[in-house]
Structure 1
């Protein structure tokens, strides 16, 4: 496990949340919602899962103290009440009476303490443990400087626990809705050990839905179903008895199944599919708070060659690659309805203290300039003693937008930068995640979706030593800006927080540490007879709790 560092967090500005409750007159061909995702589920272990598609499933069968509702608020869920001290440092969380896991076990405050301690324990290897950095003692535990039982959470009774924060975190209730904060049934986790969450049978559930022995997830199968959880405290609000999932990596197949009324939801990730289906009933575009970006391996390790290491350690070469990125054409070619990135933090996610979109406020000059790119490229080659260089460029080959983006950039980079050869490496999405985590790449096309509606959900990724800083760069200016945005006294001054976050964006741009490509949109086909499905631009994208077919 790569050590995570998080000194603190800051002030929340809520992103917009759309409630999808479209009406239609046509009848559906099947009783249950048929929902598709484009790639395999990696895990149901909420401490360990990292990708959006696993979250889309797990977030509907699991739940925490809070759950983001249709208005975008962190509403009470397993918690009956949450009391916050005047100084913002102490949260007393009282659970609902009679909570149960799907196997009938009582769900108590001890389940939260166990889960949180497991998450921050370095032995667990949770990549999302950094979100626990708001809790007192978490950072020292993650750095192996303290025992897990020093974490700032303690049981008061079966139905109450107290959390002490490292410093005021105004959006802590939103963090409580994140998977890494969910409770766990210790008995079940210890029964299955490392196999916990690797199949639906090796789990228990506390959310609106649950897996059963019927049509379960085996870890590799492409079709599975979730069922209404009879032990869920709010089961009367759950509108569907069963929802069926299919993993459909071929988007053309998904579109055809939708038209045949064998699917109710499928993504449209290619230009051709979007153009061919814009007039199909149910065409819609979901605007996620998500950025696609290129990471450069600056660790000095695991690159494809010594020359590649030398090249990507050079700022002029990285800047040349950034300048040679024609984001407008990338979007037109591979990512319709998305927009060219102008910062790392995406548009539509949060607002500044003055009400301005943060991405507009923090906009940087990520422009396409082939002539300047060539000049800096040649300068960088001279500085490194190279006359030519070969770089590998990895992307998820089973995600059509990623593959199309990588193919386009391979050609355009080689054309714009003399002496550059790009070896394209298209791998399955799950392999891309592993290679990014292990740092075994030269350049890699990554993506990040916001976990909550505040810039730190993006900007905390690149502090020195952070687990998701895959390129392993270190910037004093960046670290300083993020620290000042997320620690007292400025954490309680929204205007100052905005200024510091903008300084972090400036540091990213000036160092050419990463290469933001686009702010992602997800065109899709969705049966107009689906009502009650909630789309969130951050966190759980598709909340099916109240979804049903009319």
Structure 2
């Protein structure tokens, strides 16, 4: 599965699944009469169509409007949603049979049947939005993904089940049974379709076909199966949502209304929170700045309202590791140079003091040192605190390795670290790395800022010797990391691959791990991590952290590594 969503958003957050309500706490003695939750977002949503959603803020809202066959619960376990139970899986792992609940309805009263599942998934595959590849394991996906029809023309093809937009592996044996045949066993398939708000969610064809491209932009036609529906939208100002008291799911919503204000300035949003205009600040990937968090931590009255959480993003440095005719960078770090290049890569990694980096860059608030592998703490495949030897700071050994690998200094001369400056953390991080390489290795590494779009394109072509890199998990499964970043599955060495890293051992182990159920696959994915570590395929830097503020009277709100807790889990107590 190949999807290039690199870490370009503002740094955001999470240490483990969090909630402002303590486990085992006594239930509230009384609920507030006004069950309205208020919070800010930084920018208005561009779309709430699951086939086209791209941003964290859009997904954070849409997850309360739409459902899929499966979902991640608050602890990131996969559980049934519209399906009655987890699917029955064939012995070869390639066929999934889902039984649907027969009491699920859209917010307009239309019943959900298997026809809606087929329509929704075929539509998402044909539209090729940012998360369409979540469906890529289904037989016939590649054929549908090549479709060129859009808008009304695409709807016409979908309505007549045209083979051009119909995945051959997606069928319905009756109104409440969906059978999915994959191209082969894919242990990650359930995780991919459970990702909230995006391609695996179910939409109502009866509504969508009336305004194929804009149905999700109007409250009256934004129809889903979730506990909430949109009631008003003032562009670039606010969004309002109301609960569906007779919603089919559990728990039934206590909050009757959600009011979301668009507030572009984080300081302005914080001021409104502190003045009582917002009940939460931090939902939808929008929270207070690190400097404001430091001030809050110093105030006893507000510190209790603050939660810091490690998120799903890792920042690291990549090398160009392959020299061939299609990769122009070359450089001293390529695998064909053997032990010398290995030790040079290791020297660059060991020379970084990540504790100092996190303090200087993030004030120990917006990030923490990445010491447990490329996958962040709290997600499946994390190696454990301190278990990535590439994250050790050892300036003495780093200098020794450098001297042995490059005794004349010619290999490491005139190296340049390339980054995209649009993210406000990338340039400070680049300067801090430059300073540490100078102090701890004695090397003067140049810096080059390249506009983001050009940066990503050139980096994936193997244009840079040394560059900023990162990944944000789409769903909680190691496959989302290892398939997208290294090896043949990612297109390495020469197609859309930053490092070019591709070994036979990596490809063989990844192919096996991707077919296995998650519990069986975790040891194999951790072995893949060890292969990357042994080959020094990256320099770990930090995991991102997000701050949340919750008023004391808000119960049930919180977040895990991947998403905010649903609105129907939240209650407002008397205050």
TM-score by length of 2: 0.73
- Picking from 409, 418, 428, the partner of 1:392 is 418
The unaligned stretches of length 5 or more in structure 2 are 5-14, 148-162, 336-340
1:346 aligns with 2:376: yes
Q: How far off its partner does 1:447 sit?
A: 3.9
TM-score by length of 1: 0.76
Q: Tell me which residue corresponds to 1:115.
A: 120
Q: Secondary structure at the match of 2:63?
A: helix
After superposition, the CA RMSD in angstroms is 4.6
Q: How far off its partner does 1:547 sit?
A: 1.3
1:96 aligns with 2:101: yes
- Picking from 155, 168, 171, the partner of 2:172 is 155
Q: How far off its partner does 1:197 sit?
A: 5.2
Q: Tell me which residue corresponds to 2:153.
A: none
Q: Tell me which residue corresponds to 1:63.
A: 67
CA 1:40 to 1:168, structure 2 compared with 1: closer, same or farther past 3 Å? Answer: same
CA 1:150 to 1:257, structure 2 compared with 1: closer, same or farther past 3 Å? Answer: closer
Residues 36, 257 of structure 2: 8 Å contact kept:
yes
Show the 5 A alignment for 1:156-235.
156-167=173-184, 173-178=190-195, 179-186=198-205, 188-189=207-208, 192-193=211-212, 203-212=222-231, 214-216=232-234, 218=235, 221=236, 223-229=238-244, 232-234=247-249
Q: Tell me which residue corresponds to 1:483.
A: 511
Show the 5 A alignment for 1:253-268.
253-267=268-282
Residues 320, 331 of structure 2: 8 Å contact kept:
no
CA 1:37 to 1:459, structure 2 compared with 1: closer, same or farther past 3 Å? Answer: farther
Question: Number of matched residues?
Answer: 513
Q: How far off its partner does 1:111 sit?
A: 2.0
1:128 aligns with 2:131: yes
1:293 aligns with 2:316: yes
CA 1:172 to 1:283, structure 2 compared with 1: closer, same or farther past 3 Å? Answer: same
Q: How far off its partner does 1:402 sit?
A: 5.7
Show the 5 A alignment for 1:380-459.
387-397=413-423, 405-406=429-430, 408-409=432-433, 411-413=435-437, 418-424=443-449, 442=464, 443-449=467-473, 451-452=475-476, 454-459=477-482
Residues 120, 129 of structure 1: 8 Å contact kept:
yes
The unaligned stretches of length 5 or more in structure 1 are 5-14, 352-356
Paired with 1:348 and 1:58, the residues of 2 have a C-alpha distance of 24
Q: Secondary structure at the match of 1:183?
A: coil
Q: Tell me which residue corresponds to 1:273.
A: 292
Paired with 2:551 and 2:204, the residues of 1 have a C-alpha distance of 36
Paired with 2:221 and 2:2, the residues of 1 have a C-alpha distance of 26
Q: Secondary structure at the match of 2:180?
A: strand
CA 1:207 to 1:368, structure 2 compared with 1: closer, same or farther past 3 Å? Answer: same
Paired with 1:253 and 1:194, the residues of 2 have a C-alpha distance of 34
CA 1:35 to 1:407, structure 2 compared with 1: closer, same or farther past 3 Å? Answer: farther
Paired with 1:250 and 1:167, the residues of 2 have a C-alpha distance of 48
* Structure exhibiting the larger radius of gyration computed from Cα positions: 2
Q: How far off its partner does 1:195 sit?
A: 5.3
Paired with 2:111 and 2:204, the residues of 1 have a C-alpha distance of 9
CA 1:105 to 1:444, structure 2 compared with 1: closer, same or farther past 3 Å? Answer: farther
Q: Tell me which residue corresponds to 1:9.
A: none
Q: Which range moved further: 378-387 or 180-189?
A: 378-387
Q: Which range moved further: 459-468 or 50-59?
A: 459-468
CA 1:385 to 1:292, structure 2 compared with 1: closer, same or farther past 3 Å? Answer: closer
Residues 120, 203 of structure 2: 8 Å contact kept:
yes
Q: How far off its partner does 1:365 sit?
A: 2.6
Q: How far off its partner does 1:436 sit?
A: 9.2
Q: How far off its partner does 1:237 sit?
A: 0.5
